[in-house]
């Protein structure tokens, strides 16, 4: 006879039980997959997207599986967004444990054809918005840390900035995006030093070619456009790039949103409590060099 052993108590506790995770750009793609992943592990999620419908759908999917989530919709570049984002987390769930600066898009051109509007838009989205979110979070993170310390509680918080192979190695036609993505690495390394005393791990994940709606479309086709705050922006990657992935990427293919989310997840769990100021490249082994 086989005896079944049931695990009880802390062994069954989810790794992120009761943690509060704020994820920008989590209505679609990588951000959505991460929101679902963290929610399954017990975290309460503040979902954000530029468009309400995908964000609300992610919230609905999380609540349908027994999790807790709220939406904070709108552009991360709005003047009041950072404070609104942080306040919704505090009002809804009473804390801040994980911040993932994931929202973004590309608006490409070579330097001589790139105007100030293109440059400013990408820097504001990818670099200035994360700065403002972390700045808005600081007083609350400090307060929560001091309260926990007073009560003899040790709690590690997590910040993950999303970078790119473009930010690490450069990419022709992406001076705005590459500059912003290099910047968030410096931001992560700096904040790791500033916030270490609060038991906050701050890291970055750099993505290579990940198959999302922003890359899966064919950039050569006129209909491959998205609307970002009134700007019609061509998205997608030339189909030849996907074909070249078979030889240029050691793993022989682009990554999936689930795989990309998994790289972020590793920086959100307790196993990374002594890892900070690092960048993890999620690029299948070398695409982008």
Question: pTM of the full predicted structure?
Answer: 0.90
The pLDDT tens digits for 171-212 are: 999 999 999 999 999 999 999 999 999 999 999 999 999 988
111 by Cβ neighbours in 10 Å (0-12 / 13-18 / 19+) ranks as: exposed
**Quick check: is 89 in a domain?**
yes
* Category of 59 on φ-ψ map: left (φ > 0), alpha (ψ -120 to 50) or beta: alpha
**Quick check: is 173 in a domain?**
yes
For residue 174, give its domain range.
Answer: 16-282
**Quick check: is 228 in a domain?**
yes
pLDDT, residue 231, reads 76
The pLDDT tens digits for 95-122 are: 999 999 999 999 999 999 999 999 999 9
CB-based contact 71:54 (threshold 8 Å): no
Using the structure block, give the residue that is written with the tokens 């994931």. 102
CB-based contact 236:209 (threshold 8 Å): no
Residue 42 pLDDT greater than 80, yes or no: yes
**What DSSP string runs through 124-180?**
IIIIIHHHHHHHHHHHHHHHHHHHHHHTT----EEEEEEEEHHHHH--TTBHHHHHH
Sign of CA dihedral 235, 117, 99, 188: positive
The CATH number linked to 258 is 3.40.50.720
For residue 283, which phi and psi values (nearest 5 degrees)?
-140, 20
Q: What is the C-alpha separation between 202 and 274, in angstroms, rounded? A: 10
Q: What is the C-alpha separation between 216 and 201, in angstroms, rounded? A: 32
Token pair for residue 8? 């009880």
Query: Quick one: pLDDT band at residue 2, thresholds 50, 70, 90?
Result: very low
**Quick check: is 289 in a domain?**
no
**Quick check: is 4 in a domain?**
no
Give me the sheet containing 20-23, strands edge to edge.
69-71, 44-47, 20-23, 98-101, 157-164, 200-207, 279-282
Look at residues 71, 16, 21 and name the one whose alpha carbon lies nearest to residue 45. 21
pLDDT, residue 94, reads 98
**Quick check: is 46 in a domain?**
yes
Choose, from 177, 198, 265, 289, the residue flagged as catalytic: 177
The pLDDT tens digits for 119-150 are: 999 999 999 999 999 999 999 999 999 999 99
265 in active site: no
**Quick check: is 11 in a domain?**
no
Q: What is the C-alpha separation between 120 and 122, in angstroms, rounded? A: 6
**Quick check: is 270 in a domain?**
yes
Task: Give the count of domains, the chain.
Answer: 1
């Amino acid at each position: 006879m086989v005896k079944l052993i049931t695990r009880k108590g802390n062994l069954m506790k989810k790794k992120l039980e009761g943690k509060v995770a704020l994820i920008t750009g989590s209505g679609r793609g990588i951000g959505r997959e991460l929101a679902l992943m963290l929610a399954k592990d017990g975290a309460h999620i503040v979902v954000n997207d530029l468009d309400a419908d995908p964000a609300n759908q992610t919230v609905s999917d999380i609540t349908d599986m027994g999790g807790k989530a709220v939406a904070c919709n709108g552009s991360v570049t709005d003047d009041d967004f950072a404070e609104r984002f942080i306040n919704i987390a505090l009002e809804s769930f009473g804390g801040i444990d994980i911040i993932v600066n994931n929202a973004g898009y590309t608006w490409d051109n070579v330097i001589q054809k790139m105007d100030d509007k293109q440059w400013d838009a990408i820097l504001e989205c990818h670099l200035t918005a994360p700065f403002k979110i972390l700045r808005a979070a600081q007083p609350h993170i400090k307060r929560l840390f001091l309260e926990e310390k007073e009560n003899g509680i040790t709690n590690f918080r997590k910040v993950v900035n999303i970078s790119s192979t473009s930010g690490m190695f450069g990419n022709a036609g992406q001076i705005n995006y590459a500059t912003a993505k290099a910047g968030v690495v410096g931001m992560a390394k700096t904040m790791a030093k500033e916030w270490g005393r609060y038991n906050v791990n701050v890291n970055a994940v750099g993505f290579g070619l990940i198959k999302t709606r922003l890359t899966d479309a064919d950039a050569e086709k006129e209909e491959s456009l998205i609307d970002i705050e009134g700007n019609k922006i061509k998205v997608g990657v030339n189909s030849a790039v996907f074909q070249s992935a078979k030889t240029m990427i050691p793993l022989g293919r682009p990554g999936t949103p689930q795989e990309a989310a998994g790289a972020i997840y590793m920086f959100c769990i307790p196993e990374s409590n002594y890892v900070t100021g690092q960048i993890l490249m999620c690029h299948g082994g070398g695409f982008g060099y």
